[in-house]
Amino acid sequence: MDKQLDLLQGTLDMLILKAVSLGPLHGYGVLLRIQQISKDRLEIQQGSLYPALYRLEYQGWITSEWGESENKRKAKYYRLTAAGKRRFQAEAEKWNRMADVIAGILGTKPEEV
Amino acid sequence: MTLWARFCSWLGAALRRSRMESEMDAELRFHMEGYVEDLVRSGVPGHEALRRARLEFGGMERTKEECRETRGLNLVEGLIRDLRYSIRMLAKNPGFTAVAVLTLALAIGANTAIFSVVDAILLRPLPYPQASRLVFLSEYSEQVPGMSIAMANFNDWRSENHVFESMVAYQSDNVVLAGRGEAERVRLRRITAGFSPTLRVKPILGRTLMPEDDKVGAERVVLLGEGFWERRFGRDPSIIGQQLTIDSEPYTVIGVFPSRLHGSLRTTDLFTSLWRLENELGGEKNRGNHPGIYAYARLKPGVNLEQARGEMKGIAQHLDEMHPDSNGNQSITVQPLLEAIVEDVRAPLLVLIAAVGFVLLIACANLANLLLARATQRYRELAVRMALGASRGRLVRQMLTESVVLALAGGTLGLLLAVWISAAVVHGMPTGVPRLDEVSPDRWVLIFSLAISLATGIFFGIFPALQASRTNVQDALKESGRTGSPGSSRRRMRDALVAAEAAISLILLVGAGLMAQSLFRVLHADSGFNPSHVLTARFSLPDVRYKGDDKSRNFVEELVSRIQAIPGVEAAGVKNPLLGGWQTSYAIEGRPLPVRGQHATTDFSRVSPDAMRAMGMRLIRGRFFDSHDNAQTQRVCIIDETLVKQDFLHEDSLGKRIATDVHPGPGVQPAWMTVVGIVAHVKNYGVDQPSRVEMYVPIAQRPGGSGALLIRFTGDIGTFASSARSAVRSVDPDVPLFEMRPLEDIVNENTASRRLSVMLTSAFAILAVVLAGMGFYGVMAYLVNQRTQEIGIRLALGGTRGDILRLVVEKGLRLTATGIAIGLAGAAVLMHFISNLLYGVKATDPITFIAVTIFLSLVALAACYIPARRAARVDPMIALRYE
């Protein structure tokens, strides 16, 4: 149970970075954007979103400022920083490499060994 | 960072924090409202949308807590919150808090007190710059380890070594200061010019000794000790250049040494040059003479102790080859100065440290047990807090804060106790324990008590905290009204703690038992003389006026006859030295002379005719000396039974002849002395100390310049002392009597350190047993409380009260039996380390082990019996309704 959480957490950070890289978003917007991109195939625990956002902000990969939402309400918007952009690229590359390796391993047939 | 700046940054963080808090609320509310609106828009009814939003979001408080934790500034805040919560929880349970704080105060107080003594005696450096570079030098031979140094040897060491930057030789003496008011006995230290450079001590007034002052025939000069300067001259600086009459010779005062010196140097009144005795002590012909001289030296920079030892060993070998007659197989001992000073007290102090350490362990076990029991009561509280979003780490931190708060409260109270305990310990310590006057709570004692409090708090708190944090939220909340049931691992830990307490207190009891038995045997051992109703006092004859044997012989005769005239005196005499003897080699007529450098040695003392009777020695055969043994008659001696056993196993010793000048020179006959009596062996240095074979000679045949009066009397000691004093003054007003005291006091001093360590270890052992008893009781009472319902069912189903009683007591005894078994094994191993401190009893003395086992079992039985009886009295109806 614990290990799955770790993996998810790392992934969540990356997804958040991707989501805000497409333009500034408030917390709820991040959730909606990820669901939209993933075509609702990913189940995200809503409560876990905010600690992740706070952590990423604390680490300096995103910044926040208060602005006005579509329905004229005060909302906190998150934006990717330059450091966050580099971080996201590195993470994404690492993820892709990992995915390739895993896929390669899983796709191995008996005669190839 | 200054305190103010730190406060400002904390305040800033706290302010930022409250803004962050409201922003976080706003953000989460925004999320919630947005989601609810979206749900409503997609057709979910309002109240259902709200419910679903809450459900899908998850624990709101938990989310907030996690958000807060991503910020570093949470630490201080959390700590303050934990502290506030802890204090509230502790205040809510005054009984628990009082027991815990008192237990800790006793344990931490005892530890701090012993540490403050150990700190002052063993750890604090000597009061000199770079004191760790100082070493103590003495000579070594197989017969006399730690022998004093021959002056000629010291001179050679100093000129031949390359490891010391400077050296000082010294000798202690008592001299008479006359001419200014009444004659006074003062403490003199003869030193060499190396004193100031070696110890790096400068005079606070005037100048120090220079190498020229050490030359034979130099002007007689003296330095004062600061204490003496104050006491006798009221810190008058004009004393420099004035004359003092010391042992009837005039000396010029050249300076004052500060009192910031170690040990007996601090209480020294006068310092003069050792080399004035060069003619008597130094020189080639006196290389075999070891007149109580020892030396300090300062290691050169970069030279370590091993190098110094190696070099001095080489020098000793060289001197042995050059002077085989006097040096023989002698060697040189090089010891760090501090180590040499505290050598004798180190072992007893370490035992005390171990004993108080054990007490602290037991206190920790008790507290851990209390906390475990409390954690069970707080089961639901913890579960609720977890459900509300507290992470496991937070819970552990909170509970640790509680135990540390407890420990710090106990530590504060303990520090106060420690001041009182250490004062009592210092008061009870025998005179002669080095550096005892330096015991005072300094910052290291404060740091120690703080550190030990923190460590204790964490140590006894960590396991219960970890245990408690393993609470399963679902189960705990599901359970009905009763407080949660303890897991089996919690019970196991409690059992282990009780067993550990039993084991540790058994070890302490065995240690205290063995030491108490040793003390009993020491107090009841035969010392070979009878010290009760004997008054002693010392005198020292000024060398100049009592030059020549006849003068001092007459003085002794006159003195003894006047003392004997005092009503109430049974026997009186003069002995030199008072207890113990001068070490001397000896030879027996008609036997081959011993190999050079390997002479047999004996303790040798001079006595006037009645001195041995006054001291209460027992004559085994032959006779004591009488007034006919004088300068004109045959030279005689008395030997003790151990010398007889050693040298006259197969022949009668009476009438044999012995000499102490083994190599009188070519063509000269040794001065033979005929053995006229054999006495019981006298344990001069205390019955538990090693002693040597003994020989006594009449003081009339070997007069000396000083001695001690021994007066066996009947009646009141106070009036008696003053008449003795005036009797001495009537013989010579310039010869003062000093250190007038009962012989019994001197003998008791030998056992004082033993009595104190027995008292302390016993006190610690009793404290340990009381704490362990409380521990047993607590666990058993808790157990009975937990099982009230079960007991009720048993009774309802026909179990007798006797069954219940047996059930509980059996459970308790099984626990302690395990502990006792472990403790016995541990004691058997650990007691081996204190075997050097024991006397007349083996470290594995079976009687002690058995007695202690029985005693501890009885304590355990009593501790179990009270809760067991309560269990047996349970009314099944009430117990079952209780649910």
Percent of chain B at pLDDT > 70 equals 90
Does B263 share its domain with B292? yes
CA distance B163 to B392: 61
Does B284 share its domain with B315? yes
Contact A47 B34 (CB under 8 A): no
Residue B444: per-residue pLDDT: 86
* Chain B nearest C-alpha distance from A102 (Å): 32
Domain end: B272, B298, B329, which one?
Answer: B329
Residue B136: per-residue pLDDT: 95
In a domain, B280, yes or no: yes
Does B279 share its domain with B356? no
pLDDT digits (tens, 9 = 90+) for B417-449: 998 888 888 887 766 677 777 777 788 888 998
Compare CB distances from A50 to B28, B34, B71 and report the shortest one's residue: B28
Mean pLDDT of the region A74-80:
89
Q: Which of A33, A40, A54, A65 to mutate to test the interface with B (most CBs of B within 10 A)?
A: A54
User: Which of B380 and B496 is assigned the larger pLDDT?
Assistant: B496
In a domain, B116, yes or no: no
**Which residues 22-81 of chain B have a CB within 8 Å of chain A?**
23-24, 26-28, 30-31, 33-35, 56-60, 62-63, 66-67, 69-72
- A47 neighbourhood in chain B, CB within 8 Å: 57-60, 62-63
Does B704 share its domain with B792? no
Residue B91 has pLDDT above 70, yes or no: yes
Residue B635: per-residue pLDDT: 92
Does B653 share its domain with B613? yes
Compare CB distances from A54 to B31, B35, B70 and report the shortest one's residue: B70
Residue B476: per-residue pLDDT: 63
Q: Could you tell me the two tokens for B614? A: 């006054």
Contact B34 A28 (CB under 8 A): yes
**Across A16-25, B476-485, B560-569, least confident range:** B476-485
In a domain, B111, yes or no: no
Residues in chain A: 113
How much is the mean pLDDT over chain B?
Answer: 84
Residue A6 has pLDDT above 50, yes or no: no
- B59 neighbourhood in chain A, CB within 8 Å: 47
In a domain, B123, yes or no: no
* Chain A nearest C-alpha distance from B460 (Å): 29
Which residues, in sequence order, are bridge partners of residue B536?
B710, B741
Q: Which of B30, B32, B39 to mutate to test the interface with A (most CBs of A within 10 A)?
A: B30
3-state secondary structure of B862: helix
Instruction: Give me the domain span that covers residue B68.
Output: 3-72
- A74 neighbourhood in chain B, CB within 8 Å: 26, 30
Does B319 share its domain with B412? no
Confidence grade of residue B478 (pLDDT, cut at 50, 70, 90)? low
Does B564 share its domain with B711? yes
Does B517 share its domain with B582? no
Tokens 């937070």 — which residue? B394
Confidence grade of residue B729 (pLDDT, cut at 50, 70, 90)? confident
**Which residues 6-25 of chain B have a CB within 8 Å of chain A?**
23-24
Confidence grade of residue A7 (pLDDT, cut at 50, 70, 90)? very low
CA nearest neighbour of B752 among B510, B427, B524, B423: B427
Confidence grade of residue B278 (pLDDT, cut at 50, 70, 90)? low
Q: How many CB atoms lie within 10 A of CB B242?
A: 12
ipTM beyond cut 0.85: no
Confidence grade of residue B671 (pLDDT, cut at 50, 70, 90)? confident
In a domain, B520, yes or no: yes
Mean pLDDT of the region B679-686:
86
Q: Which of A1, A25, A50 to mutate to test the interface with B (most CBs of B within 10 A)?
A: A50
Compare CB distances from A26 to B30, B57, B71 and report the shortest one's residue: B30
pLDDT digits (tens, 9 = 90+) for B541-577: 776 677 777 888 888 888 888 888 888 888 999 998 8
Does B297 share its domain with B167? yes
* Chain A nearest C-alpha distance from B371 (Å): 29
First CA to last CA across chain A, in angstroms? 32
The DSSP element (H or E) to which B347 belongs, if any, is helix B337-377
Query: Longest Cα pair distance anywhere in chain B, in angstroms?
Result: 137
* Chain B nearest C-alpha distance from A40 (Å): 15
Residue B475: per-residue pLDDT: 67
Which of A34-38, B204-208, B433-437, B661-665 is the most confident on average?
A: B204-208
CA distance B374 to B785: 13
Q: What is the 3-state secondary structure (H, E, C) of B290-317?
A: CCCCEEEEEECCCCCHHHHHHHHHHHHH
Q: Per-residue DSSP letters for B684-745?
A: TT-TTS----EEEEETTTS--SEEEEEEEE-S-HHHHHHHHHHHHHHH-TTS--EEEEEHHH
Contact B31 A28 (CB under 8 A): yes
Confidence grade of residue B484 (pLDDT, cut at 50, 70, 90)? very low
Domain end: B55, B72, B89, which one?
Answer: B72
- A8 neighbourhood in chain B, CB within 8 Å: none
pLDDT digits (tens, 9 = 90+) for B288-304: 777 778 999 999 999 99
* Chain B nearest C-alpha distance from A56 (Å): 9
CA distance B57 to B28: 10
Residue A58: per-residue pLDDT: 82
Q: Kindly list the structural domains of chain A, giving each domain's residue range(s) and its CATH number in brackets, ordered by start.
A: 2-112 (1.10.10.10)
Does B301 share its domain with B437? no
How many domains, in total, are found in chain B? 4
Q: Could you tell me the two tokens for B575? A: 């002995």
Mean pLDDT of the region B43-68:
83
In a domain, B499, yes or no: yes
CA distance B393 to B390: 8
In a domain, B445, yes or no: yes
Contact B30 A47 (CB under 8 A): no
- B70 neighbourhood in chain A, CB within 8 Å: 51, 54-55, 58
HSE on the CB side for B449, CA within 13 Å? 29
pLDDT digits (tens, 9 = 90+) for B369-418: 888 877 777 777 778 877 776 777 778 888 889 899 999 999 999 999 99
Compare CB distances from A76 to B27, B66, B69 and report the shortest one's residue: B27
Residue A2: per-residue pLDDT: 34
pLDDT digits (tens, 9 = 90+) for B776-809: 888 888 888 778 878 888 888 888 888 888 888 8
Answer whether B653's CB lies under 8 Å from B639's CB.
Answer: yes
Contact B62 A47 (CB under 8 A): yes
pLDDT digits (tens, 9 = 90+) for B828-857: 998 888 888 888 888 889 999 999 999 999
Residue B504 has pLDDT above 80, yes or no: yes
Q: Which of A12, A28, A69 to mutate to test the interface with B (most CBs of B within 10 A)?
A: A28
| pTM tops 0.90 | no
**Closest alpha carbon within chain A to B20:** A54
First CA to last CA across chain B, in angstroms? 59
CA distance B771 to B504: 11
Q: Could you tell me the two tokens for B350? A: 């370490």
Residue B195: per-residue pLDDT: 94
Inter-chain Cβ pairs, chain A and chain B, closer than 8 A: 57
Contact A74 B30 (CB under 8 A): yes
Percent of chain B at pLDDT > 90 equals 27
Does B514 share its domain with B567? no
CA distance B298 to B309: 13
CA distance B786 to B486: 9
Residue B328 has pLDDT above 90, yes or no: no
* Chain B nearest C-alpha distance from A97 (Å): 29
Residue B676: per-residue pLDDT: 94
Does B270 share its domain with B302? yes
- A75 neighbourhood in chain B, CB within 8 Å: 27, 30
Compare CB distances from A75 to B30, B69, B71 and report the shortest one's residue: B30
Q: Could you tell me the two tokens for B225? A: 């000790």
Answer whether B332's CB lies under 8 Å from B140's CB.
Answer: yes
User: Which of B657 and B327 is assigned the larger pLDDT?
Assistant: B657
CA nearest neighbour of B457 among B492, B389, B407, B504: B407
Compare CB distances from A50 to B26, B63, B72 and report the shortest one's residue: B63
Residue B883 has pLDDT above 60, yes or no: no
Residue B322: per-residue pLDDT: 83
**Closest alpha carbon within chain A to B31:** A28
Residue A1 has pLDDT above 50, yes or no: no
Residue B685 has pLDDT above 90, yes or no: no
In a domain, B756, yes or no: yes
**Closest alpha carbon within chain B to A74:** B30
